[in-house]
């Protein structure tokens, strides 16, 4: 992790508005990403004083401006996740829960292996210094914390909350250009039932998926995986195992590190049989996190389910000898739980390489539904390109007509990294509605 501390920071938290980032806006270069607050997308900006002056004369609606009182080391966004009402009944009042969390943060003995030898952690966080609350509402907060606490904050956040590490430098805002959506529009317009594709879909093996998830969660003791937290040994085991399994199906895979201490992204590729730059990317995140201070992180649903779905696709590619007229990448990301870190690094890499990514779909949590509910497909309400989301909905209607398709407020998995780099992207989720998944396992 980058150790350089920022100077005292002037931070803006303002409702997301793409016009703020129109050509040559100084705010575009002060952009630290979009984050959620109870269904509203907010942008975090760190403009220099001149830039701020040029904007305060115009309306920056309901903007919160805060100044860090200490040196900013690592900014962390915290948000309550979009969960079903039935789960909300179980949460204590926000103030109690959040204050308890801040107390833990202040006093936490930051050796995460303490009391639980099962999870080995790379490196030994030492610094116990405090934190700064820069912004706080009942649904979200922005903190500045030490790098050491930032490494483990995801294991301490209140139930149903999620933490995201902000990047250490601005990431210029890049809207999805209409021209990049042409391929998806074309495929959508010409979509019709194809019996060959239906037979490929039918070839997915559920028993094999069960077997695969048992390995990833450690239910199969032979795997030795107790946690797939990005800093854990289990995550490295999972990465090596995934690479080997994908390679067995004919893919070329690379373990791509993106940050010191984190497990790598697993990037696998099937080249196109015709000459084209077009690349389709399907992904999931194989990292997990222990809920509410637990050091076990089996992550069967979140996101073992998406990860083994990718693997089941790879296995069908082998069994059916599928060949492509586009390059296809299957990618298992790490660092999602700390704030989309693995996917941000990879999306930036593809942007820098001017990759012709024509479609990107992230699968995060595909395995849970409330007893009695039908099988569902949840598509993102906020983050993603509508035409890509429509394409997935229409493909689903043709090949999996039993799925009830609808929108979900469950938000912000690795597709956001690609969306923010201007690539056509969407997400698939287990529920057409808010998350009802009990624990995040």
Ligand X SMILES: *[C@@H]1O[C@H](CO)[C@@H](O)[C@H](O)[C@H]1NC(C)=O
Helix runs in 268-411, H state only: 306-319, 341-352, 386-399
| Phi and psi based region of residue 138 (left: phi greater than 0; alpha: psi -120 to 50; beta: remaining) | alpha
Nearer to Zn ion, 132 or 430 (CB): 430
In whole angstroms, give the CA distance from residue 427 to residue 408.
10
Binding flag, residue 240, ligand X (CB under 6 A)? no
Identified binder of ligand X from the candidate list 63, 294, 394, 396, rule CB under 6 A: 394
302 interacts with, out of Zn ion, ligand X, none, CB within 5 to 8 A per kind: Zn ion
Of 93-132, binders to ligand X (CB under 6 A) are 126-127, 129
Least spacing, CB of residue 146 vs ligand X, in Å: 5
Q: How far is Cα 197 from Cα 309, in angstroms, rounded to an integer?
A: 17
User: Does the footprint of ligand X cover residue 273 (CB under 6 A)?
Assistant: no
Taking CB under 5 A as the criterion, the residue among 79, 80, 287, 364 binding Zn ion is 364
Site map (CB under 5 A) of Zn ion, residues 285-314, x = contact = -----------------xx-----------
Contacts of 247 (CB under 8 A, 6+ apart): 253, 268
Phi, psi of 299 (to 5 degrees): 45, 55
**Partner in contact with 439, chosen from ligand X, Zn ion, none, beta carbon below 5 to 8 Å by kind:** none
Among residues 41, 64, 278, 294, which is the contact residue for ligand X, using CB under 6 A?
278
Q: How far is the CB of 440 from ligand X (least distance, A)?
A: 30
Min separation Cβ 255 and ligand X, Å = 27
Whether the bond into 278 is cis, omega within 30 of 0 = no
Whose tokens are 């980032």? That residue is 21
Taking the complex as a whole, the smallest distance from the CB of residue 332 to ligand X amounts, in Å, to 22
- Fill in the per-residue mask, 290 to 329: x = in contact with ligand X (CB under 6 A), - = not in contact: -----------------------------xx---------
Q: Which does 303 bind (CB under 5 to 8 A by kind): Zn ion, ligand X, none?
A: Zn ion
Q: Which does 189 bind (CB under 5 to 8 A by kind): ligand X, Zn ion, none?
A: ligand X
Burial class (CB within 10 angstroms; exposed 0-12, middle 13-18, buried 19+) of 122: middle
279-285 sheet: strands from edge to edge? 252-256, 265-270, 327-333, 279-285, 357-363, 425-428
Closest CA to 231 of 308, 302, 335: 335
> Is residue 206 exposed (0-12), middle (13-18) or buried (19+ Cβ within 10 Å)?
exposed
Contact footprint for Zn ion (CB under 5 A): 302-303, 364
Contact footprint for ligand X (CB under 6 A): 126-127, 129, 146, 183, 188-189, 191, 203, 205, 276-278, 319-320, 356, 358, 394, 397
């Amino acid at each position: 992790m980058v150790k350089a501390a920022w100077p005292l920071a002037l931070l803006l938290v303002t409702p997301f508005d793409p016009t703020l980032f129109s050509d040559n806006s100084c705010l575009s270069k002060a952009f630290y990403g979009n984050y959620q607050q109870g269904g509203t997308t907010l942008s975090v900006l760190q403009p220099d004083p001149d830039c701020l002056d040029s904007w305060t004369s115009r309306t920056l609606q309901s903007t919160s401006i805060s100044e860090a009182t200490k040196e900013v080391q690592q900014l962390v966004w915290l948000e309550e996740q979009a969960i079903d009402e039935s789960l909300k009944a179980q949460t204590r009042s926000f103030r109690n829960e959040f204050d308890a969390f801040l107390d833990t943060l202040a006093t936490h003995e930051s050796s995460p292996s303490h009391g639980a030898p099962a999870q080995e952690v790379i490196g030994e966080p030492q610094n116990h210094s405090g934190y700064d609350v820069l912004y706080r509402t009942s649904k979200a907060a922005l903190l500045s914390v030490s790098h050491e606490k930032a490494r483990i904050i995801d294991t301490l956040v209140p139930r149903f909350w999620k933490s995201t590490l902000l990047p250490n430098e601005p990431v210029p805002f890049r809207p999805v250009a209409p021209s990049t959506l042409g391929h998806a529009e074309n495929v959508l317009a010409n979509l019709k039932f194809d019996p060959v594709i239906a037979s490929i879909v039918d070839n997915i093996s559920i028993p094999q998926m069960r077997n695969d998830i048992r390995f990833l969660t450690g239910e199969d003791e032979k795997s030795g995986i107790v946690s797939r937290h990005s800093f854990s040994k289990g995550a490295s085991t999972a990465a090596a195992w995934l690479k080997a399994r994908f390679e067995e199906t004919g893919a070329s895979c690379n373990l791509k590190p993106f940050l010191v201490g984190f497990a790598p992204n697993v990037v696998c590729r099937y080249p196109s049989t015709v000459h084209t730059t077009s690349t389709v990317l399907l992904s999931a995140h194989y990292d997990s996190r222990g809920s509410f201070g637990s050091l076990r992180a089996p992550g069967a649903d979140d996101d073992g389910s998406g990860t083994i779905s990718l693997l089941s696709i790879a296995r069908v590619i082998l069994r059916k000898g599928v060949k492509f007229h586009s390059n296809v990448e299957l990618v298992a990301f790490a660092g999602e739980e700390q704030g989309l870190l693995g996917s941000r690094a990879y999306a930036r890499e593809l942007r820098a390489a001017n990759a012709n990514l024509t479609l990107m779909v992230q699968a995060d949590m595909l395995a849970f539904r409330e007893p009695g509910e039908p099988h569902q497909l949840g598509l993102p309400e906020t983050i993603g390109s509508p035409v890509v989301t429509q394409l997935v909905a229409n493909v689903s209607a043709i090949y999996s007509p039993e799925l009830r398709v609808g929108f979900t407020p469950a938000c912000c998995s690795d597709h956001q990294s690609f969306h923010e780099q201007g690539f056509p992207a969407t997400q698939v989720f287990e529920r057409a509605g808010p998350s009802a998944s009990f624990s995040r396992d």
